[in-house]
Structure 1
Amino acid sequence: MNDVKTVTNRLKILYLYKILLEKTDNNHYISMPEIISQLSLYGISAARKALYDDIEALKTYGLDVQQLKGNTSGYYVASREFELPELKLLADAVTSSRFLTEKKSNELLKKIEGLASVHEAKQIHRQVFVSNRAKAMNERIYINVDTIHRAIAEGKKISFKYFDYDLEKKKKYRDGLRVCSPYALSWTDERYYLIAHYEKYTSISNFRVDRMESVKILEEDIVPKPSDFSIAEYMNSSFSMFSGESRDVKLRFDNKLINTVIDRFGKDVSLIPDGNEHFTVHVKVKAEAPFFAWLFQFGSKAKIVEPASLKEKYRIQIEDVLNTL
């Protein structure tokens, strides 16, 4: 009998902790009679004096329990590890992340809501409105991300299957297993990419994480990252994460595009005045179709100055498009 009473007493403070976190916040309190009623739902009876002592114990433990006094009295949790604005921010990130499937997004949102009181959880849930955006179809992507992170930390190679989708939205696997030395994961254009040394081409390549399957960590150590390889520089030179050789280019922009250029190439890029209305920059880019598409959106306000071969390549790309119209 004493053992049952001891277990009940130990559970009492745990359920009290749960009730305070779930039912209260800065705008909602719970009275002592309500606490007693809530505990009874868990099959626990408690006297007021014992509960006062338990609340003091929780405060000593670190739970920020405050008492409301006056005509109405009660208790509430005044601060938490995650405040409501932070939880809303996390909820927005989960909802808008294309690399998460709809199912996984909903699962994570439920867990985020569980970090707030039941009252604040409604605010988190109400702001989730981005439901028609394209989401990932690979349910195991979050497991892939975790596996890749572990491989990077351990300095080990990974192997995986890589696939594309056909017209029927079915997976079409590329031949053989890919074997790579993972260097970093990048969140670019709302998708996760693996930056790695690819065995087949003995060069740095990118892979969409949501198109990877059966990711396994191998026993073999990675090919060391080149000493002159900079992840930040590599990212700044990439457009839509296309692989390819980076080239030094000189670009000329209208002054109205200063913010756009800094957003694209970073605050360390040197902006050199070119007359009163333009400026030039020297940057490294992967001069492929995505770069040309990015440049084209600015029309006559942006142009390639050097090298001449790249100007010609850009002109040919535009002519090829015109010929299809």
Structure 2
Amino acid sequence: MSRGTNQKFKFTYLMKMMQEKTDDDHALTMPQIREELEKYGVTAERKSIYADFADMEKFGVEIIKEQIGRETYYHVGTRAFELAEVKLLVDAIQSSKFITQTKSRNLITKMKSFVSQYQGSTLQRQVIINDRVKSMNESVFYNVDEVYTAINENKKIRFKYYKWDINKKLIARKGGDWFEISPWGLTWADENYYMIAYDEWDGNVKTYRVDKMMRISILDEKREGQKEFKAFDMSKLSKTTFGMYGGHKKRVKIQFENSMCGVFLDRFGKEDINFKPIGENWSEFSVEVSVSQHFFGWLFGMGPKVRLVGPDDVVEELKEYGKAYFENMR
């Protein structure tokens, strides 16, 4: 490439190069900067580069000048995203079951453009997709977009809803019939994306796994269930529902050894539960939950340091669940 053939792109190449090749731990001297620009077919005098650095500040790209010995170095300071923030976003992408492996890799590659090439290499350890369950539905991103569009336009949607069978194949629920519902919100729980929607057929607000929804289309009909959705507390959904499987709502009483208090604070939050001492090292509290097998399994998983003590009908239901479980092991 001949010198000066891309002069009109000088500012763009300079900003790109500084963002990619410099950070708080890596800087370039002016001769090195001019040498890098020449690789793009751009020649530049020092004064014009200084002027471009000043203009970059207007675009939110901070260029820091630092004297080390006899050399003067330049590097990008403040960025739109700090390295710690990018790492946090990468971790969120990695931990999301609803994002496929392919989409995870693509998104992480894009995230690396927010930091320098040196900082991006530190993300490489996180780019490896670990041995975990990931969605195989590549259309999940478009599903989310369709749902949000329907919500913004106050329209119903229809879709096919799927589940896994014993042969590890996705099969359509309801014999392949269309689901026609009114979407009201989306939430992220248990590392999956869920749609909150009103089902006119049985008059209830329900949750649907977005990655199990296919062939979504927006209908011309207006949404229904506004009153029911307003009465539905989305903020409590992930706290009261275990594994996002519904169950009958009940206020239960739980007793626990004090060392287990963090488990319940993490699950239900500080505002929704109050601990009452009942002994030297034990306490109890009450909270509303969706009573289901997943709730019982959650309790069993904490062992003898936790016990359900009320109400009586839920305690009996728990006993029957445990009895049936152990009888099935014979």
TM-score, length basis structure 2? 0.89
Partner in structure 2 of residue 279 of structure 1: 283
Residue identity matched to 2:161 = Y
Distance 1:304 1:68 in 2: 64
- Among 230, 244, 248, the alignment partner of 1:245 is 248
Partner in structure 2 of residue 42 of structure 1: 40
Distance 1:299 1:61 in 2: 57
Give unpaired runs (5+ residues) of structure 2: none
Give the secondary structure class of the aligned counterpart of 2:115.
Answer: coil
Partner in structure 1 of residue 84 of structure 2: 85
Task: Give 1:15 deviation, angstroms.
Answer: 1.0
Change (3 A) 1:220 1:272: farther
Residue identity matched to 1:110 = T
Residue identity matched to 2:254 = L
Residue identity matched to 1:206 = T
Task: Give 1:16 deviation, angstroms.
Answer: 0.9
- Is residue 84–residue 116 contact of structure 1 (8 Å, CA) maintained in 2? yes
- Is residue 7–residue 41 contact of structure 2 (8 Å, CA) maintained in 1? no
Change (3 A) 1:59 1:234: closer
- Is residue 113–residue 125 contact of structure 1 (8 Å, CA) maintained in 2? no
- Among 308, 319, 328, the alignment partner of 1:315 is 319
Residue identity matched to 1:214 = R
Give the secondary structure class of the aligned counterpart of 1:73.
Answer: strand
* Deviation digits for residues 269-302 of structure 1 (CA, Å, limit 9, x no counterpart): 1222223332222221111100110111223332
Give unpaired runs (5+ residues) of structure 1: none
Distance 1:169 1:61 in 2: 51
Partner in structure 1 of residue 194 of structure 2: 193
Within the alignment, does 1:103 sit opposite 2:102 as a pair? yes
- Among 13, 17, 20, the alignment partner of 1:19 is 17
Residue identity matched to 1:291 = F
- Is residue 96–residue 130 contact of structure 1 (8 Å, CA) maintained in 2? no
Partner in structure 1 of residue 294 of structure 2: 290
Residue identity matched to 1:184 = G
- Is residue 252–residue 279 contact of structure 1 (8 Å, CA) maintained in 2? yes
Distance 2:309 2:190 in 1: 27
Task: Give 1:230 deviation, angstroms.
Answer: 1.3
Distance 1:136 1:114 in 2: 25
Please give the residue correspondences for 1:179-258 in structure 2 after superposition, counting only pairs within 5 Å.
179-223=180-224, 224-226=226-228, 227-258=230-261
Partner in structure 1 of residue 265 of structure 2: 262
Residue identity matched to 2:177 = G
After TM superposition, what 4+ stretches of structure 1 lie above 6 angstroms from structure 2?
none
- Is residue 271–residue 279 contact of structure 1 (8 Å, CA) maintained in 2? yes
- Is residue 156–residue 221 contact of structure 1 (8 Å, CA) maintained in 2? yes
* Deviation digits for residues 62-116 of structure 1 (CA, Å, limit 9, x no counterpart): 3211123342223211121111111111112212221111100100110111111
Residue identity matched to 1:47 = E
Partner in structure 1 of residue 63 of structure 2: 65
- Is residue 309–residue 315 contact of structure 2 (8 Å, CA) maintained in 1? yes
Deviates more, 1:174-183 or 1:123-132: 123-132
- Among 303, 306, 309, the alignment partner of 2:307 is 303
Task: Give 1:130 deviation, angstroms.
Answer: 4.8
Task: Give 1:141 deviation, angstroms.
Answer: 1.1
Count residues in correspondence: 320
Change (3 A) 1:235 1:92: closer
Change (3 A) 1:154 1:11: same
Distance 1:206 1:126 in 2: 35
* Deviation digits for residues 47-73 of structure 1 (CA, Å, limit 9, x no counterpart): 333222222222344321112334222
Give the secondary structure class of the aligned counterpart of 2:71.
Answer: coil
Change (3 A) 1:245 1:152: farther
Give the secondary structure class of the aligned counterpart of 1:207.
Answer: strand
